[in-house]
Amino acid sequence: MMDYNKQSQKLKETAAKLLEEGTVEAVLGLKDNPEVGWPTPYFARTAGDVENLVWNEACFTNLANYLLDMRDKKVAIAAKGCDVRSIINLIVENQLKRENIVIIGIECSGMKQNDSLAAGCDACPSSIPNMYDIVVGADGSDTYKDLEMPNSGENVTEWAKNTTVDERFERFKKEIDKCILCYACRQACQGCYCKACFMDRKATPWEQVDPDTSTKMAFHLTRAMHLAGRCTDCGACEKVCPSGVNLKYLFKGLSEFVEEFYDFKAGVDMEAKPFANQYKQDDQQVAFLGGDTIVGV
Amino acid sequence: MSERAEVTNAVSEEWTPTIVTFLCNWCSYAGADLAGTSRIQYPPSIRVIRVPCSGRINPQYIIKALVDGADGVMVSGCHPGDCHYLEGNYYARRRFSALKRLLSLAGFHPDRVQFTWVSASEGARFADVVETVTEKIRVLGPSRLGGRDGA
Amino acid sequence: MSAYKLTLDQARAALAKLMEKYTVIAPVMNDNRLDYAEVTDARDVILDDRLPYKSPKETVFPRVENVIRFLEGRVEEAQDIKPILLIGAKPCDIAALNDLDGIFTSDKGKFKDSFYINRRNCLTVVGAGCTSKKTACFCDERGIDMTFSPECDGFLNFVDGDILYEPLTAKGDGLFTGSEAEPPKRDTKPEETLKIEAKEADVFATMPWESYVEGCIGCGTCTYLCPTCHCFNLRDAEDKGIVTRTRVWDSCMYPKFTLHASGHNPRTEKYQRFRQRVLHKYLYIPENYGFTACSGCGRCIRSCPGGLNIRDTVSDIMERLEEAKE
């Protein structure tokens, strides 16, 4: 079982040691924030700052994004499975350097937001991060316990097979209607690090920024497309959304698709080539008109 | 699996859908030309946009066309292996496969987006493809998207 | 004016009547969250201590507003609006509406915004008080009495499970009636303690702005939920030959907010944008209009994914200014 106190203790000790030795410039973690209701990002820069770090069942924030601001500095990060998947994805895409990051891999069996399982945790495959330098086990020890995961996530492909086009459109439209186009999902996403997002290029007359239905649809669909084979299912987009838009199922569905047809999963293998940056001559033609193979939805 | 056609408006026999069509310069556009010079008849439903390569088509173009009210989108390029730029259509194939799945998940009828390969010598095939695609989209009826909110 | 006492059921019945004449906006549950939204059934209205998640500024300053339409041979300006009745606005939100009034309609502002004024004239505001301070609320530090606001058209007080309606203006008179009663006694307004009294040069470059924004992810949630944020953009869009000019919300937290036509951008860093947000509310608007444009509702603090905190930032600045004086 999880012992957050012991994990916090181990995290603080490790962070203090790293900072005192001068191995890293900062330790990226979370600090308590009762006003928000869950811990928020915090950079510990001195051994004295370390006391502010916390680790509890509400530490669901994906911190990988913050590493991008500190690209050229040596930083340690308190990372769960989803953070590490994101870090791997960013390394694969040449955004981060492995040698600049010290990963304090914290075992995690799912986080809670507002007393229910946080978005993304239901589909998390393992309590052990895919990559780590320092081990913080479930009980704060130096070994991972490999806990049982909730594994209650929706299988989007199955869902799609059992619904009609109209039902799927209804679900999509219902979520789109809530969106206020504040871009919190984009900003929180580890994969959305473009300096100029396609939505920000206000100069092009065909790219509108008014929050009307077609613009919102274009934004979310294109973002989903850009994240195909890059989404690490961390759920950050849903966790930060001020309007409660739940569109992660689109991303999850695409991840399932990419895994099924192209045998690629983001955030697993540091040597892998990104999904959209490679091809095989015998790739399946999914649902092409008159193509060799017509498979799936 | 079965798909219930999203027919909301009564579909008349005369109605012809508007299909935004992206054709690669080297194969499919030439194929369309051949269909024209060979005087092969096909429905006047397509609005052709010529692009250098099917690999150049940003999925966003297709999404944008659909959400702004196009009844359908058709994309055609060189057959895999025949790309003028050697590998553009291989990348496009992956991208379009994923896009088709995504649009289907979001509730756009899969028949509204059609991908295919037509070479420069396949004028008759091009006409055939347009006919098939037009008929598939025609039975679905007009798109229910498009137009600006409140405008 | 005197007050009227009525039961909750009577109030709901009266509200149902009012819905015929007005578009009623009130706190209702929306996806497990309390929000100001258009009421379709008087029974849905929730009047309790909770603060709705989003601010009610959309009633007078919509996210998207058609300003003008260019049709063939003529133009069509903004249409008539049905009278709007905002029920259950909290004192902080009423104070914020007042701030917006000051910016869009006052004599101190250089421009009078006809679209805002048009909507504002159609709006009747009925307030409702809070009984307790919620986490991240700091209305008291901003000098706002959380139990009562005299700056609206009428006020709903809760006394022993009944409602005491207190009309405050001619607009609010007669909305709810019942047996006559004495209006409740009021506490004195708290003192406005959280404010920046300094010159721009004292704070602009000397405060540790970068340390305040470490958690910022650069989304626009704070500005979109803020009841006083009012930056907008005008856009022309063409559809089937008809050009529509719309006014849409913009946010100073976006990198492209200040992008010049030349390509130069004076605010490329997060801390510069956050500094603008804080100083606009606490320094520039006070200089130009004479009031601080923050009502202490705490929405930006509660909803910030990065844990940025405008109150802590301002009080830190106040402390540093105090130290510098000594």
- Express each pLDDT in C156-198 by its tens digit: 988 888 889 999 999 998 899 888 888 887 878 889 999 999 9
**Closest Cβ opposite residue C63 in set A180, A208, A244:** A180
CB contact under 8 A, B151 and C64: no
Instruction: Tell me if A118 is assigned to some domain.
Output: yes
Tell me the two tokens of residue A129. 């991060």
The range of the structural domain enclosing residue A195 comes to 156-271
Tell me the two tokens of residue B40. 């092969």
φ, ψ for residue A196 (rounded to 5)?
A: -125, 105
- Specify burial of residue C109 (Cβ count, 10 A radius: 0-12, 13-18, 19+): middle
Instruction: Tell me if A281 is assigned to some domain.
Output: no
The domain ranges of chain B are 19-138
Architecture category of domain B19-138 in CATH: 3-Layer(aba) Sandwich (3.40)
**Closest Cβ opposite residue C217 in set A43, A65, A242:** A65
The Cα–Cα gap between C287 and C290 comes to 6
Instruction: Tell me if A143 is assigned to some domain.
Output: no
Residue C47, pLDDT score: 86
Pick the residue from chain C with its C-alpha nearest to A193.
C217
Q: Which residues in chain B are contacts of A290 at CB distance < 8 A?
A: 116, 129
CB contact under 8 A, C31 and A187: no
CB contact under 8 A, C244 and B148: yes
Residues A192 and A267 grouped into a single domain:
yes
List, as one string, the DSSP characters of C158-211.
EETTEEEEEE-STTTTTSS--EEEPPPP-PPPPPB-----S-HHHHTTTS-HHH
Q: C93 to chain B nearest CA, in Å?
A: 27
Q: How many CA atoms lie within 13 Å of A174's alpha carbon, on the beta-carbon side?
A: 9
CB contact under 8 A, B102 and A276: no
Question: Which other chains touch chain A, taking contact as 3+ CB pairs less than 8 Å apart?
Answer: B, C
Instruction: Tell me if A293 is assigned to some domain.
Output: no
Pick the residue from chain B with its C-alpha nearest to A287.
B97
Question: What is the separation, in whole angstroms, between the first and last Cα of chain C?
Answer: 50
For chains A and C, count residue pairs whose Cβ atoms are closer than 8 Å: 91
Residues A130 and A199 grouped into a single domain:
no
Residues A196 and A85 grouped into a single domain:
no
Q: A90 to chain B nearest CA, in Å?
A: 20
Boundary of a domain, candidates A101, A136, A171: A136
Residue B11, pLDDT score: 59
Residue A201, pLDDT score: 67
Residues A12 and A131 grouped into a single domain:
yes
Instruction: Tell me if A279 is assigned to some domain.
Output: no
- Cβ atoms of A221 and B63 within 8 Å: the answer is yes
What torsion do the CA atoms of C268, A176, A189, A235 make, to the nearest 10 degrees?
150
Pick the residue from chain C with its C-alpha nearest to A208.
C237
Residues A210 and A90 grouped into a single domain:
no
Residues A100 and A12 grouped into a single domain:
yes
For chains B and C, count residue pairs whose Cβ atoms are closer than 8 Å: 14
- Express each pLDDT in C188-244 by its tens digit: 888 999 999 999 888 999 999 999 999 999 888 999 999 999 999 888 877 778 888
Q: What residue ranges of chain B have pLDDT lower than 50? A: 1-9, 149-151
User: By percentage, how much of chain C surpasses pLDDT 90?
Assistant: 56
Pick the residue from chain C with its C-alpha nearest to A40.
C307
- Express each pLDDT in C194-204 by its tens digit: 999 999 888 99
Whether residue C80 is predicted with pLDDT greater than 80 in this model: the reply is no
Residue A208, pLDDT score: 52
- Express each pLDDT in A130-159 by its tens digit: 999 999 999 999 999 999 998 888 899 999
DSSP 8-state class, residue A294: -
Q: Which residues in chain A are contacts of B103 at CB distance < 8 A?
A: 221
* Helix, strand, coil share of chain B (percent; to 5): 40, 15, 45
**Cα-based distances in Å from C283 to A261, C6, C155, C196, C295:** 57, 44, 31, 6, 14
Q: B141 to chain C nearest CA, in Å?
A: 20
Q: A95 to chain B nearest CA, in Å?
A: 22
Mean pLDDT of chain A, nearest integer:
89
The Cα–Cα gap between A12 and A55 comes to 9
CB contact under 8 A, C237 and B148: yes
CB atoms within 10 A of CB A107: 25
Residue C1, pLDDT score: 60
Residues A126 and A242 grouped into a single domain:
no
Report the pLDDT averaged over residues C95-104: 94
Instruction: Tell me if A194 is assigned to some domain.
Output: yes
- Express each pLDDT in A33-88 by its tens digit: 998 889 999 999 999 999 999 999 999 999 999 999 888 899 999 999 999 999 99
Q: Pairing mode, if any, of strands A75-79 and A40-44?
A: unpaired
Pick the residue from chain C with its C-alpha nearest to A64.
C217
The domain ranges of chain C are 3-64+78-181, 200-325
A221: pLDDT confidence band, cut at 50, 70 and 90? Answer: very high
Q: Which residues in chain C are contacts of B150 at CB distance < 8 A?
A: 64, 66
φ, ψ for residue A21 (rounded to 5)?
A: -70, -15
Residue A121, pLDDT score: 93
Q: Which residues in chain B are contacts of C64 at CB distance < 8 A?
A: 149-150
Q: Which residues in chain B are contacts of C239 at CB distance < 8 A?
A: 147-148, 151
B139 in contact with A at a CB cutoff of 8 Å?
no
Which residues are CB-contacts of B14 (< 8 A; sequence separation ≥ 6)?
Answer: none
Q: A224 to chain B nearest CA, in Å?
A: 8
Q: B64 to chain C nearest CA, in Å?
A: 14
Q: Which residues in chain C are contacts of A214 at CB distance < 8 A?
A: none
B78 in contact with A at a CB cutoff of 8 Å?
no
Interface test with B, best of A170, A209, A288 (most B CBs within 10 A): A288
CB contact under 8 A, A37 and C135: yes
CB contact under 8 A, B148 and C69: no
Instruction: Please tell me whether the interface predicted TM-score (ipTM) of this complex is above 0.85.
Output: yes
Instruction: Tell me if A284 is assigned to some domain.
Output: no
CB contact under 8 A, C214 and A43: yes
- Cβ atoms of C196 and C42 within 8 Å: the answer is no
The helix (run of H) or strand (run of E) holding residue A65 is: helix A64-67
A209: pLDDT confidence band, cut at 50, 70 and 90? Answer: low
Residues A204 and A171 grouped into a single domain:
yes
Whether residue A207 is predicted with pLDDT greater than 70 in this model: the reply is no
Q: Which residues in chain C are contacts of A65 at CB distance < 8 A?
A: 217
CB contact under 8 A, B110 and A214: no
Instruction: Tell me if A296 is assigned to some domain.
Output: no
Q: C136 to chain A nearest CA, in Å?
A: 5
C237 in helix, strand or coil? strand
Residues A124 and A191 grouped into a single domain:
no
A296: pLDDT confidence band, cut at 50, 70 and 90? Answer: very low
- The number of domains in chain A is 2
Report the pLDDT averaged over residues A164-169: 92
CB contact under 8 A, C220 and A33: no
Residue C81, pLDDT score: 80
Q: Which residues in chain C are contacts of A211 at CB distance < 8 A?
A: 63-64, 248-249
Interface test with A, best of C35, C216, C219, C222 (most A CBs within 10 A): C219
The pTM of the full predicted model, rounded to 2 decimals, is 0.89
The helix (run of H) or strand (run of E) holding residue C286 is: helix C285-289
Whether residue A182 is predicted with pLDDT greater than 50 in this model: the reply is yes
B90 in contact with A at a CB cutoff of 8 Å?
yes
For chains A and B, count residue pairs whose Cβ atoms are closer than 8 Å: 147
Residue A212, pLDDT score: 77
Whether residue C27 is predicted with pLDDT greater than 80 in this model: the reply is yes
Q: Which amino acid is at C160?
A: D
B67 in contact with C at a CB cutoff of 8 Å?
no
Closest CA relative to residue A153, chosen from A187, A122, A178, A188: A122
